[in-house]
Amino acid sequence: MAEKRVAVVGGGLAGLASVMKLTELGVKVDLFSLTPVKRSHSVCAQGGINSCNDQTRQLGDSEWKHFDDTVYGGDFLNHQPPVKEMAMWAPKVIDLMDRLGVPFNRTGEGFIDRRRFGGTLYKRTAFAGATTGQQLLYALDEQVRRQEAEGMVRKYEFWDFLRPILDEQGNCRGIVAQDMVSMEIRSFPADAAVMATGGCGLVYGRSTMSVFCNGSAASRCFQAGAKYANGEFIQVHPTAIPGADKLRLMSESARGEGGRVWVPRKAQDPRAPQEIPDSDRYYFLEERYPEYGNLVPRDIATREIFDICVNEGLSVEDDRMCVYLDLTHIPAAELDRKLGGILEIYEKFQGVDPRVEPMKIFPAVHYSMGGLWADYAKSSDGGLEPGAPENHMTNIPGLYAIGECDYHYHGGNRLGANSLLSCIFTGLFTGPSIVNYIDSQPHDAVSQELLDSARQAEIDRHQHLLTGNEGSEENPYLIHQELGDLMTRVATVVRKNDQLTEALVKVDELHKRAMKVNLSDTGGWTNQNVLFAKALQDMFPLAKCILKGALQRDECRGAHYKPEFQKPPLTAEDPAERRRQAEAWCDEFEANNERYLKSTIATWNADTMQPDLTYEDVDTSSIPPRPRLYGLVGADIIEEVWKERAKAKAEAGQYATT
């Protein structure tokens, strides 16, 4: 039988987990990465990785509750079979990473220590200090290096993915990639290709993502015919420190270990934070959300911080929006043991010791919940069918999407510490599916003509960028700055239809300008100018998906927030009137779900240079949608009304109440 070979693009947790599993199954892998794999963006993940565990089980936790918290936190936009399977696998993933040598923090008894993260009332999050992503990545890297030494892996670091190679039937038969040093462009035949390329933070100019997270790989697949789903759902992390080059994450683990968010009750109080007594401090998350406190889901914490600074004018500083994230009440030794990694980052870039002075933070673009559309096969128990070839396959046969660049797991809002889990889970789970897909296909060799044609198309694009726009004054870096500023202003925390409409027109103009950039460097060796220009051009299809998807979604769901369409709290004091308001609130909620509880599916129209949007129903067969009521005034009566309706529907056989 012909030798099986798979191209895996992306050297982060999802990519390395995929390589590890595929090689374990006897498949040879070509692994491509923009950077050395140990510097992939997964290395920046700080807080931890989620799973139900023996400690939380004693408090009533279960894999089902992890599943429920995930779809509730995601505002029920997550397809439930993949999420259920992930939650059921989670304890096994932690056990595997423990056995691979990840130095998880331990309790005094020697058990893996856990911390709480947002959107849950249980300590589900295993962690390795505040460098969990780095430790997980290094453990997987060791396994991939072992397979590389045995000849199962060919590693292509400093290579840029340019396009999938599609045959006449539309099947993926390999990829085209470019050496970022020599600038050589090559075609690589493969029986299947796996995209594990992360998010698209650079579309916003600055974000907490690494500066090479530009979304270009997903965009190139999108432009080749792959669908892109839920692009409008971009997570803004509530706590980051601004920087001239990027925004640096201050992990949710800081709040999980007891960090408190506050502002002085007096705007721009001139006193040092240590001198402000508790009575003059506004712990607004704790006051507004007493059950969850500082660990409300990220979308809610982000909006509250934004509201405090922008609408209430209580920013700590007059000329820069920020609030305090305070760890000073926690013993320094405890902080160093559990949060040393992020404390060092803050000290390095701010010149302040957060052990003795509260940090100043503000929300920043952090994660792409949307991504390449991918399929799945549902099992009889409501999870995924192991080994089914369609699991995580895009609409292009043979092209798979895993990790942050797919759209399955997080719905409208990602819960903290679920990202590392989803990346490792998808990499491991899809291995047998990919092998079964390969085995189902005819083993004919990829024609040299197909390989050469795809390669030549990219050579032509490369040469045109170097020499085709002589005389143009368009600068790719200035265009990118305009794009980032525009996207940050209109498509982050608060979204308004008039601004989104104007932004789409402006992005069209910028896109046309980007196609005419004139490069200052036309050299043939390690030309970063031309690589950036390609990435810039490929940011625009995703930017348009984000803006157009947001414009057409007239509701508030997870990270997508339009104040004009926010459901109001209950205002009546009279019990009967309050009940009537709750009934009306639930009527509106059901009507809104009927219209908007759907995945946005974009396909690229090369003629109009626009995404065409359609909508797909979300599988909510295991856990029926219910109102997301964190901190809402009147939540108790709304929940009561909703439970009565759910019970009546269950008795009528409309859905289960599990």
Structure-block tokens of residue 586? 């639930």
Between the alpha carbon of residue 390 and those of residues 170, 339, 411, 427, 605, the distances in Å are 15, 40, 20, 14, 25
Kindly indicate the confidence band of residue 60, based on its pLDDT and cuts at 50, 70 and 90: very high
Residue-wise pLDDT for 296-354, tens only, equals 999 999 999 999 999 999 999 998 899 999 999 999 999 999 999 999 999 999 999 99
- With beta carbons less than 8 A apart as the criterion, state whether 203 and 539 touch: yes
DSSP 582-618: HHHHHHHHHHHHHHH-EEEEEEEETTTTEEEEEEEE-
Written as six digits, the tokens of 373 are 């559309």
Query: What pLDDT score does 1 carry?
Result: 46
Dist. CA 558–CA 560, nearest whole Å: 5
E runs forming strands in 45-126: 49-50, 114-115, 125-126
**Which ranges constitute the DSSP H helices of 468-514?**
476-490, 497-514
- Cα-Cα-Cα-Cα torsion 255, 258, 264, 267, nearest 10 degrees, comes to 0
pLDDT at 658 over 70: no
- Contacts for 651 with CB less than 8 Å, ≥ 6 apart: none
Is residue 656 pLDDT above 60, yes or no? no
CB 423 within 8 A of CB 14: yes
- Contact by Cβ (8 Å): 197, 139: no
pLDDT band at 385 (very low <50, low <70, confident <90, very high): very high
**Are the CB atoms for 349 and 389 separated by under 8 Å?**
no
Please name the residues in contact with 292: beta carbons below 8 A apart, sequence gap of 6 or more.
118, 119, 121, 630, 631
Separation of first and last alpha carbons in the chain? 47
Mean pLDDT value across residues 376-389: 98
- Predicted confidence at residue 485, as pLDDT, reads 95
Q: Which residues are catalytic?
A: 298
**pLDDT at 655 (0 to 100):** 57
Instruction: Record the tokens describing residue 473, joined without a space.
Output: 């004054």
Q: Which of 291, 286, 298 is nearest to 249 (CA)?
A: 298
> What is the residue-wise DSSP string for 561-591?
--GGGPPPPP---SHHHHHHHHHHHHHHHHH
| pLDDT range class, residue 506, cuts 50, 70, 90 | very high
Question: What mean pLDDT, rounded, does the chain reach?
Answer: 95
Main-chain phi, psi angles of 324, to 5 degrees: -90, 140
Residue that has been written with the tokens 């549902």 in this structure: 378
CA atoms within 13 A on the CB side of 173: 23
Q: In this structure, what token pair is assigned to residue 3?
A: 């030798």
Q: How far is 200 from 220, CA to CA, in rounded Å?
A: 12
pLDDT digits (tens, 9 = 90+) for 205-231: 999 999 999 999 999 999 999 999 999
Which neighbouring-strand residues pair with 638? none
133, two tokens: 């992503």
Cβ–Cβ < 8 Å for 54, 261: no
Residue 51, SS3 per DSSP: coil
pLDDT for position 654: 66
Asked whether 212 and 339 are in contact (CB, 8 A), the reply is no
With tokens 């790989």, the residue in question is: 217
Instruction: Go through 622-653 and write b for each residue having 16 or more CB atoms within 10 A of its CB, e for each that does not.
Output: bbbbbbbebbbebbebbbebbeebbeeeeeee
For residue 595, is pLDDT > 70? yes
Q: Which residues pair with 114 in a beta bridge?
A: 126
Q: Which residue has the tokens 């498949």?
A: 27
Task: Give Rg (Cα) of the chain.
Answer: 24
Structural tokens at position 306:
């934004």
Note the pLDDT of residue 651: 83
The pTM of the full predicted model, rounded to 2 decimals, is 0.95
Spatial contact of 18 and 402, defined as CB atoms under 8 Å apart: yes
| CA count, 13 A, side-chain hemisphere, 151 | 1
- Band of pLDDT at residue 657, cut at 50, 70 and 90: very low
- Least confident residue range of 28-32, 101-105, 242-246, 440-444: 242-246
Cα(73)–Cα(415) distance, integer angstroms? 6
Cα–Cα distances in angstroms (integers) from residue 107 to residues 110, 133, 650, in the given order = 5, 20, 43
Angle between helices 419-440 and 80-99 (to 10 degrees): 100
